[in-house]
Structure 1
Amino acid sequence: MTDHAATTRATYDLIAPEYARRWSSSPEWVTAEIDRLRASLPAGARVADIGCGPGHHTRLLRERGFRVAGFDLSRKMLTAAGGGPGLVQADMRALPVATRSLDAVWCVAALLHIPRPEVPVVLGEFGRVLRPGGELTLSVAEGDGEGWENVSYEQSLRRWFVSHRIEPLGALLTEAGFSVAGHSRRSTHRDWLLIHARRH
Structure 2
Amino acid sequence: MNETRQTYDLISTEYARRATAVDARLLRELDTLGGALAAGSRVVDIGCGPGREVALLRERGFRVVGFDLSLGQLRAGGLPGRAQADMRHLPLRTGSVDAVWCQAALLHLPRPDVPAVLAEFARVVRPGGALYLSVAEGDGAGWEVAGNYGSELRRWFTYHREPALTTLLAAAGFAVREVSRTSSHREWLSLHARRDG
Q: Give the TM-score range, shorter chain.
A: over 0.9
Structure 1 residue 186 corresponds to structure 2 residue 182 = yes
1:105 to 95, 100, 118: 100
Partner-residue secondary structure (3-state), 1:160? strand
Give me the whole-angstrom Cα distance separating, in 2, the residues matched to 1:37 and 1:184: 13
Task: Write the letter of the residue equivalent to 1:105.
Answer: V
Runs of 4+ in 1 over 4 A off after TM superposition: none
Q: Deviations over 1:144-169 (max 9, x none)?
A: 00000001233420000000000111
Matched, 1:139 2:134: yes
Q: Choose from 8, 14, 32 the match for 1:12.
A: 8
Matched, 1:78 2:74: yes
Match of 1:176 among 165, 172, 175: 172
What residue identity is the alignment partner of 1:106? W
Give the fraction of aligned pairs with identical amino acids, expressed as a percent: 60
Residue 30 of structure 1 deviates from its aligned partner by 1.2
Deviates more, 1:159-168 or 1:30-39: 30-39
Paired residues, what number? 195
Mapped partners of 1:51, 1:114: distance in 2? 11
Alignment correspondent of 2:116: 121
Q: What is the identity, as a one-letter code, of the residue corresponding to 1:117? A: P
Question: Where in structure 2 are there 5+ consecutive unaligned residues?
Answer: none
The letter for the 2-side match of 1:16 is S
For normalisation by structure 1, the TM-score amounts to 0.95
Aligned-partner SS, 2:129: strand
Q: Deviation at 1:59?
A: 0.3
Secondary structure, counterpart of 2:15 in structure 1: helix
- Per the normalisation by structure 2, the TM-score is 0.96
User: 2:29: which partner in 1?
Assistant: 33
Q: Give unmatched runs, 5+ long, in structure 1.
A: none
In 1, Cα distance between the equivalents of 2:105 and 2:6?
Answer: 15
Amino acid in structure 2 at the alignment position of 1:90: A
Asked if the contact 2:36–2:130 (Cα under 8 Å) also holds between the matched residues in 1, the reply is no
Counterpart CA distance in 1 for 2:32 and 2:166 is 21
Q: Tell me which residue corresponds to 2:43.
A: 47
CA contact under 8 A between 2:33 and 2:192: conserved in structure 1?
Answer: no
What RMSD, in angstroms, separates the aligned Cα atoms of the two structures?
0.9
Q: State whether residues 140 and 159 of structure 2, in contact with CA within 8 Å, keep that contact through their aligned partners in structure 1.
A: yes
Q: 1:182 to 1:35 in 2, by over 3 A?
A: closer
Q: For 1:142-181, list aligned pairs within 5 A.
A: 142-152=137-147, 153-181=149-177
Query: How far 1:182 moved relative to its partner?
Result: 2.1
2:18 paired with 1:22? yes
Report the CA distance between 1:81 and its aligned residue: 2.0
CA shift for structure 1 position 99 = 0.3
1:60 aligns with 2:56: yes
